Amino acid sequence: MKDYFLFTFGCNLDHSNIEYLVKERLESFVRPIMVNNNWTDQNPKIRKDSNIHFTYDVNDKKHKENLYYIKDYYISEEQLFGFEYSLRKLKGNHIWCRPNTRGHINMKIEEIEYTGHIYVTINNDIEIRL
Q: 45: domain range?
A: 2-100
pLDDT in tens, 28-53: 887 766 666 666 677 777 877 788 98
Q: Per the structure, how many domains does the chain have?
A: 1
For residue 122, being part of any structural domain is answered with no
Average pLDDT for the chain: 81
Q: How far is Cα 29 from Cα 43, in angstroms, rounded to an integer?
A: 7
Classify 37 in phi/psi space as left (phi over 0), alpha (psi -120 to 50) or beta: left
pTM of the model: 0.75
For residue 117, being part of any structural domain is answered with no
For residue 63, being part of any structural domain is answered with yes
